[in-house]
Amino acid sequence: MTSPHELSALDQYRLLQRRELGVVELTRHYLDRISSGNAQLGAFFTVTPELALQRAQQVEEAVPRSTRLWGLPFADKDLWRRQGVRTTFGSRAFADHVPETTDEIPRVLDEAGAISLGKTATPEFGMTSHSETAIAPPARNPWNIELSPGGSSGGAAAAVAAGLLPFAPGSDGGGSIRIPAAACGLVGLKPSRGRVPGLSGIDALGGLPVAGPIARSVGDAAFLLDGMIGRRGSVVDDHYALRAPAQDDGDFLGFAIRGEGRFQIGVSTDSPWSASHDIVIDPEITAALNDTVALLSDLGHGIDDASLEPMPGYGSAFTAVWQAGAAQIRLGAGDIGAGDIAAGDEGEQDADGGLEPLTSWLRRRGRRLTAVQLAGALAELFRVERAVIAGFAGFDAVLTPTLAQLPRPIGWYDAVDAERNFSQQVEYSPFTSFVNASGLPAITLPVAMSESGLPIGMQLIGRPGGEGTLLSIGRQLERRLRWERRHPPIWT
């Protein structure tokens, strides 16, 4: 008999709807998977079996089956607070923090009828493209546990790839959904700025961080995205949510199931980071890019080169805004989170409160920025946004590698030299952060495997509000490549 985790999330949902699978039964199945697999992977910081089973019973008995994610397990990224559940933000400074409130993304997923099983691993305050932290052992890549799953949604991606969850929500301020999804052989979708009300990017510095899905298939990613968007009248205030014609209020699942259309697709290996860093693409990734171009052409899409104008100011501007974001980390003030504004703590201008070297460096540099410097950096990112949108305007989607390198070994990033660590992250993932700066949607698709058996992802960048197009193209590729059937050795 097929075990539930071997099915898609959508198929598990259908079994639940037909009462061929019980909500408590499914929850127990995944809790058992986590119990047997998490010690090796470190995908979860915290597992909450008692709360999960109580919630499963409640959903089964009292929550309408019409809710979008009824009965399906997920986990909260440990950057999001859940009332009464230890939430560390990946930092020793919050090792014993138990919040009194629940953040919007967990709330909207609860409203959709889903069941949280705990908190997935993330680096300190989600600031890095890896998932190594001083608060716990590193999260590991299910395809090779000596390698990193990427970050900052690394625990979520590791859990989904290993079958410990059917899918998982993540957040993405510079690639934090797409990087681990690519490293773990998954589909990861960064929505347009404003698409997901619970973490829209609109109210954030530089408009960078948004929430989106990580899944094994395009359909499951669309399914979770619909649940994360929520509906009008929900507990989430969706006043600022993006409302794009023909893709309004999601049925994004419909785009993923139909997988229809022929589109004009640009191909690019340009990165704004090239002006400040030596960007070298692994030959196997280049080969996978060329194979994907050939397949897209075979599917009937128009293919042409896409290019970006030089952006010499991008690297320093993005770095300054990233540092300014870290400057908002406030320590030792009770029930607060990584996004809370630091106020009235001038006395800790240089105190790091036990932060890791990279976070401490980012925070310290951010607090030394002047208002004029920050305003200049934000203005430069706005210029980048306009240039990227204009440069890609002739295409329905633009194809790039997701990463420049194959998954990195655990311990590869410099743990002492913060500036070197930051540069290593840029060289690993030079194609992701400028998409956040431009507010565009992007999806990573696990199109290939390396000779050593590691996943290789390609990124499709869409027009503003163009998630449906990305899902349609992704589904067409998925039908040919059948990547949802690939599983890492740890799967069994």
Residue 335 is predicted with a pLDDT of: 41
pLDDT digits (tens, 9 = 90+) for 174-219: 999 999 999 999 999 999 999 999 999 999 999 999 999 999 999 9
Q: Is 51 a member of any domain?
A: yes
Under a CB-based contact definition with an 8 Å cutoff, are residues 378 and 204 in contact? no
What span, in angstroms and rounded, lies between the C-alpha atoms of 236 and 196?
Answer: 10
pLDDT digits (tens, 9 = 90+) for 358-379: 999 999 999 999 999 999 999 9
Q: Look at the chain and report how many structural domains it folds into.
A: 1
Q: Is 365 a member of any domain?
A: no
Q: How confident is the model at residue 339 (pLDDT cuts 50, 70, 90)?
A: very low
Other CB atoms within a 10 A radius of the CB of residue 275 amount to 14
% residues pLDDT > 70 (the chain): 92
Catalytic site residues? 77, 152, 176
Q: From 104, 93, 120, select the one nearest 203 (Cα to Cα).
A: 104
pLDDT of residue 286 exceeding 70: yes
Q: Is 306 a member of any domain?
A: yes
Q: How confident is the model at residue 333 (pLDDT cuts 50, 70, 90)?
A: low
Q: Is 351 a member of any domain?
A: no
Fill in the amino acid letter for 462: G
Q: Is 135 a member of any domain?
A: yes
Distances (CA, A) of 211 to 172, 394, 396: 6, 27, 22
Q: Is 256 a member of any domain?
A: yes
Q: How confident is the model at residue 338 (pLDDT cuts 50, 70, 90)?
A: very low
- Helix 283-298, helix 467-481: angle, nearest 10: 100
Burial pattern 187-215, b for ≥16 Cβ within 10 A else e, equals bbbbbbbbbbbbbbbeebbbbbbbbbbbb
The predicted model gives 83-98 an average pLDDT of: 97
pLDDT of residue 483 exceeding 90: yes
Structural domain containing residue 266: 9-311+380-491
Reported in sequence order, the residue ranges of 234-290 that DSSP labels E, i.e. its strands, are 264-267
Lowest-confidence pick of 15-24, 249-258, 343-352: 343-352
The predicted model gives 284-311 an average pLDDT of: 98
pLDDT of residue 236 exceeding 90: no
pTM of the model: 0.94
Q: Is 124 a member of any domain?
A: yes
Q: Is 223 a member of any domain?
A: yes
User: Which is more confident, 311 or 336?
Assistant: 311
Q: From 144, 242, 239, 236, select the one nearest 185 (Cα to Cα).
A: 144
Q: How confident is the model at residue 43 (pLDDT cuts 50, 70, 90)?
A: very high
